[in-house]
Amino acid sequence: MTAYHELVGADRVHGSLYGDPGVFAEEMRQIFTRGWVFVGHESEVAEPGQWVTRRIGREPMILVRDRSGGLNVLANRCSHRGTALCWEHRGRDTSFQCTYHAWNFGLDGALRAVPYPAGFEKDHAELGLDRARQVESYRGFVFANLDGSAGPLSGHLGVGGTDMIDRLCDLSPSGSIALGPNWLGHAVGSNWKMWPESDNDGYHLNWVHASMVSSAPDTYYQETVLGGETGNQSLAVDWGDGHVELDFRPSYRRELAWLGASRDKVPGYCTALEQARGVQAAGRLLWDGPPHGLIFPNLFLGELNIAIIEPVAPDRMVHWHTAVQFEGVDESFNRRLLRQSEAAMGPAAFIVPDDAVTAERMQLAMSGVGVDDAEAEVRRGWVDMSRGLGREERRDDGRRAALISDETTNRGFWRQYRTVMAR
Amino acid sequence: MSGEVAPPLGEAEQREIEAFVFREARLADTSQYGEWEALVTDDMHYWVPAGPAVGDPAAGLSYINDNRARLATRIRQLQTGKRHAQTPASPMCRAVTNVEAHRAEGGAGSDGAGDEYVVTATQVVYELAVQSTARLQLWPGRVTYRLRRVDGVLRMAAKTVELVTASEPQPNLTFLL
């Protein structure tokens, strides 16, 4: 077992953790098999028989709604000889039938029928599909825990995960969001952990995104994260349990700044929100906007985008994303969210490709760093994450917070990483 | 026009269209952003869908779905010299083949004004991601152009690239496809 308590310090992380195959294999077990992982949204499988394929760690899974409305997260693997049952990204079926020997499974994963049954003596109940032992959803966000050992979801989400999901869903007049009509995948030649870091790093924007800032200058990032070390009131927040946030709320100087709009541009939405929440509460929501944070380990709430961080190999990952869609608003409003998502996220957008190339450059630079280098007498292969450690404050609500440019968010992710990897 | 077959293109017209397509390909290959942008009309639509190019682009999420203003931002960002994902520009070459051109419906003005063409082609871009991974990346796809004659010269009013790999995750796509 790798010595994670030595490789992850309070103010530094060893570079071997981004590329070592043994570390990657241990992560798939310790984080993705033993812990809660985001798998999808209920709106993706609204009707019985609707399914989507996902990975939990490296394991191919199917999220499917069964006839009684239940959510199942099943291994995408026939229990007979191991053939994949679904090979498209989504679909709708009344059952799953293997193409090899036509074994047939219910939407709940139970083995229903085997051709030529006389020669098959086992009890069907023994050969249902492997499944995530725990599946729970919170306000439409579906999480699964493969081995069933992770305790209740509420314990995993804690105050921070719950708060961030609540703040997003409360912005939708119905209280529920839906997802955009499709996911886009961004294939990156980096370790997956560059993304919990990068998505929630408040220090890099002036440099990594310099081209976006100068070619599209009227973005609200101007007032929330740019403008010097102490030039704004945004916070880098560690909620605990690996959930972290860049909290822009203190920096917004007008309503709907997060949407790049004003009330007269989106009157239908504002009216619908006031009718649903009351004028005063809606007014607060329109100021505060959606969260920008990570729910450990793989769900990024990117304001009006949802992203899944999918590990592929030590040096490969996919950043999947889609747009948030609100319920109870006019179509033109939701299309605005689609267009904003296209501008920000994905392989051809104005923002995230520059994060991707940066992550790939990190991967390149650390490819020669081995676990053994951590013990070398000459300092070698360490990554510094000390920024702002001395000015973090514990707030009354339990949050650990510092300036937006401080590495509080990154330390929060890695603190939880060390806890679960060393357990 | 309904029920009639559009008159076939003349030899010179066909050659002019092919010359436009090959020039557009060369300017994209060599990242000559300003010269490439000069080829497009004021209502240009640049579309790289995440699947087949069917239905209304506004209804879903695409890799690229640029109206003229957003395309201008894209070019401006590339021209800052700080677009890390494309600094330095990817070495590229593309083969454009199977070029078929048709006169667009309703665009057959006898004086040549308002002529519009729909052109389809097959394209394979070979791109080296020198900015980071140094991997050779292949971008095969079917291209549909909408070309319009403006003041006597051809301009591009739409370019749609249906990537063969569209349904699967894509690496950085920050050059001109």
CATH of the domain at A276: 3.90.380.10
Of B59, B63, B78, the CB nearest to A346: B63
Examine the domain organization and report whether A119 and A169 are in the same domain: no
Residues belonging to chain A:
423
Of A216, A335, A353, the CB nearest to B172: A353
Between residues A372 and A130, the one the model is more confident about: A130
In this complex, do B173 and A347 lie within 8 Å of one another by their Cβ atoms? yes
Instruction: Determine the 3-state secondary structure of A29 from DSSP.
Output: helix
pLDDT tens for residues A32-55?
Answer: 999 999 999 999 999 999 999 999
Examine the domain organization and report whether A139 and A70 are in the same domain: yes
Examine the domain organization and report whether A128 and A193 are in the same domain: no
Domains defined along chain B, listed by start: 11-163 (3.10.450.50)
Domain contains A9: no
- Across chain A, mean pLDDT equals 95
Examine the domain organization and report whether A171 and A141 are in the same domain: no
Q: Does B171 touch chain A (CB under 8 A)?
A: yes
Domain contains A32: no
Q: Does B68 touch chain A (CB under 8 A)?
A: no
Q: Which residue of B has its CA nearest to A315?
A: B133
CB pairs under 8 A between A and B: 112
| Partner B, chain A 359-378, Cβ-Cβ below 8 Å | 360-361, 363-364
pLDDT tens for residues A309-357?
Answer: 999 999 999 999 999 999 989 999 999 999 999 999 999 999 999 999 9
Domain contains A19: no
Q: Does A394 touch chain B (CB under 8 A)?
A: no
Domain that holds residue A97: 39-145
In this complex, do B61 and A182 lie within 8 Å of one another by their Cβ atoms? yes
Domain contains A5: no
pLDDT tens for residues A269-321?
Answer: 999 999 999 999 999 999 999 999 999 999 999 999 999 999 999 999 999 99
**Chain B residues within 8 A of A360 when measuring between CB atoms:** 131-133
A105 min Cα distance to partner chain B (Å): 27
Helices A267-277 + A279-288 axis angle, to 10: 130
Domain contains A2: no
Residue A230 has a pLDDT of 79
In this complex, do A208 and B58 lie within 8 Å of one another by their Cβ atoms? no
B174 min Cα distance to partner chain A (Å): 5
Q: Does B74 touch chain A (CB under 8 A)?
A: yes
Examine the domain organization and report whether A138 and A180 are in the same domain: no
R_g of chain B, CA atoms, integer Å? 17
- CATH number of the domain enclosing A83: 2.102.10.10
Examine the domain organization and report whether A87 and A180 are in the same domain: no
Of A94, A119, A145, at which residue does a domain stop? A145
When divided into structural domains, chain A yields a total of 2
Domain contains A8: no
Q: Which residue of A has its CA nearest to B171?
A: A187
CA B142 → CA B9, B40, B69, distances in Å? 21, 19, 25
- Across chain B, mean pLDDT equals 93
In sequence order, what E strands does A101-190 have?
104-105, 111-113, 134-138, 141-145, 177-179, 184-188
Examine the domain organization and report whether A103 and A182 are in the same domain: no
Chosen for mutation from A53, A182, A191 (greatest number of chain B CBs closer than 10 Å) is A182
Of A125, A145, A165, at which residue does a domain stop? A145
Of B61, B63, B77, the CB nearest to A338: B61
Mean pLDDT value of segment A78-104 = 98
**Chain B residues within 8 A of A215 when measuring between CB atoms:** 73, 76-77, 80
Of A96, A111, A145, at which residue does a domain stop? A145
**Chain A residues within 8 A of B172 when measuring between CB atoms:** 186, 347-348, 353, 356-357
Mean pLDDT value of segment A395-412 = 93
Residue B131 has a pLDDT of 98
Examine the domain organization and report whether A242 and A176 are in the same domain: yes
Examine the domain organization and report whether A102 and A76 are in the same domain: yes
Q: Does B54 touch chain A (CB under 8 A)?
A: no
pLDDT for residue B107 is more than 60: no
* Percentage of chain A exceeding pLDDT 70: 99
Q: Does B14 touch chain A (CB under 8 A)?
A: no
Q: Judging by DSSP bridges, how do beta strands B40-48 and B153-163 pair with one another?
A: parallel
Of B61, B64, B171, the CB nearest to A322: B61
Of B50, B62, B132, the CB nearest to A357: B132
**Chain B residues within 8 A of A356 when measuring between CB atoms:** 85, 171-172
Examine the domain organization and report whether A108 and A218 are in the same domain: no
A212-221, A292-301, B48-57, B91-100: range with lowest mean pLDDT: A212-221
The pLDDT-based confidence of B1 (bands split at 50, 70, 90) is very low
Domain contains A29: no
Residue A33 has a pLDDT of 98
Domain contains A1: no
Mean pLDDT value of segment A174-202 = 97
Q: How many CB atoms lie within 10 A of CB A372?
A: 10
* d(C-alpha A248, C-alpha A258), whole Å: 9
Residue A232 has a pLDDT of 83
In this complex, do A357 and B70 lie within 8 Å of one another by their Cβ atoms? no
Mean pLDDT value of segment B87-109 = 88
Residue A419 has a pLDDT of 97
Mean pLDDT value of segment B4-11 = 75
Mean pLDDT value of segment B23-44 = 98
Q: Is the dihedral of CA A270, A275, A277, A279 positive or negative?
A: positive
B103 min Cα distance to partner chain A (Å): 31
**Chain B residues within 8 A of A353 when measuring between CB atoms:** 85, 172-174
The pLDDT-based confidence of B2 (bands split at 50, 70, 90) is very low
The pLDDT-based confidence of B4 (bands split at 50, 70, 90) is low
Contacts 24+ apart (CB under 8 A), A262-267: A266/A333, A266/A336
**Chain A residues within 8 A of B168 when measuring between CB atoms:** 185, 187
Examine the domain organization and report whether A133 and A264 are in the same domain: no
Are residues A364 and B130 in contact, defined by beta-carbon separation less than 8 angstroms? no
R_g of chain A, CA atoms, integer Å? 22
pLDDT for residue B106 is more than 70: no
Residue A221 has a pLDDT of 73
Q: Does A340 touch chain B (CB under 8 A)?
A: no
| Dihedral over alpha carbons A128, A299, A322, A131 (to 10 degrees) | 0
Residue A75 has a pLDDT of 98
Token pair for A346: 């994905």
Examine the domain organization and report whether A139 and A168 are in the same domain: no
